[in-house]
């Protein structure tokens, strides 16, 4: 059985951790499979949006494989231990986490790294490292996603928050019944995939600018990012399609 599967549904690629019997824990095989799947998505011209999820209905990903860690005597994980979109693997196209159960520790990391997050009602999120004496350096961007005091509580207590609370604080975009998770996520991804690809990629880069630059520098960088979009053929196609009352035919150029 493949520990990670890749499936194209229209223009949406579904990358699934397939270890439900181990709560989709991050074994080496899973970590390698996630890196390979993300690269496959990057190279797949037919895929416009990536959805990351877990098999089954218990866990999105329960975190690192603690048994494997104990056997290998893992101390400080290297920066490329787990794929972190935007850090150790660049993913220019949009990504969505479809959280179908617990997202703890490394599972929280994976959800945090995605651009959007849709969660089932029964999903839970936690950074449990304080409870097992491990570390979470990857949580450094968390106060950019949610209020700092909430981030502090999540990190210091290790206690889980439910899906509705995660939505309230901005970690999750939508909360839906478990039976609707795949359908809702697919529809969200399809709405994104239907948009002009150059605009979508530039928008993704723009959102993160103020995390890396002072506001004047962020605005200047945004102008640089968006100039090729304005100069593209798609920028002429959009208004022309509106004028002609037809669906735009995007070229990504």
* Cα(250)–Cα(216) distance, integer angstroms: 32
20, 59 in Cβ contact below 8 A? yes
pLDDT digits (tens, 9 = 90+) for 114-145: 999 999 999 999 999 999 888 899 999 999 99
Query: Long-range contacts: 153-157, Cβ < 8 Å, 24+?
Result: 154/125, 154/126, 154/127, 155/127, 155/129, 155/130, 156/130, 157/130
Please tell me the pTM assigned to this model.
0.95
* Cα(23)–Cα(55) distance, integer angstroms: 9
Instruction: Identify the band that residue 1 occupies on the pLDDT scale cut at 50, 70 and 90.
Output: low
> Regarding beta strands 102-104 and 59-61, do their DSSP bridges make them parallel or antiparallel, or are they unpaired?
parallel
Q: Which of 125, 67, 114 is closest to 86 using CA atoms? A: 114
Q: What is the model's pLDDT at position 66?
A: 72
**Encoded tokens for 1:** 């059985």
Residues near 36 by beta carbon (within 8 Å), at least 6 away in sequence: 4
**Encoded tokens for 221:** 């960088």
Q: What is the model's pLDDT at position 78?
A: 85
Residues belonging to the chain: 253
């Amino acid at each position: 059985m493949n520990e990670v599967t890749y499936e194209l549904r229209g223009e949406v690629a579904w990358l699934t951790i397939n270890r439900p019997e181990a709560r989709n824990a991050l074994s080496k095989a899973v970590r390698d499979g996630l890196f390979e799947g993300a690269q496959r998505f990057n190279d797949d011209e037919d895929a416009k949006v990536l959805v990351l999820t877990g098999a089954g209905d218990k866990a999105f990903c329960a975190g690192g494989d603690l048994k494997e860690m104990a056997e290998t005597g893992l101390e400080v994980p290297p920066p490329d231990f787990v794929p972190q979109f935007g850090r150790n693997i660049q993913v220019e196209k949009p990504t969505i986490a479809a959280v179908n159960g617990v997202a703890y520790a490394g599972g929280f990391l994976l959800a945090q790294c995605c651009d959007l997050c849709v969660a089932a009602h029964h999903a839970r999120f936690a950074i449990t490292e304080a409870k097992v004496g491990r570390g979470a350096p990857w949580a450094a961007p968390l106060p950019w996603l949610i209020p700092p005091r909430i981030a502090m509580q999540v990190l210091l207590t290790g206690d889980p928050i439910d899906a509705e609370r995660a939505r309230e604080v901005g970690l999750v975009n939508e909360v839906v019944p478990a039976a609707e998770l795949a359908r809702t996520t697919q529809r969200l991804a399809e709405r994104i995939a239907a948009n002009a690809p150059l605009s979508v990629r530039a928008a993704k880069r723009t959102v993160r600018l103020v995390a890396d630059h002072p506001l004047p520098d962020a605005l200047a960088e945004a102008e640089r990012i968006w100039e090729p979009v304005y100069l593209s053929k798609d920028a002429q196609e959009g208004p022309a399609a509106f004028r002609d009352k037809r669906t735009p035919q995007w070229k990504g150029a």
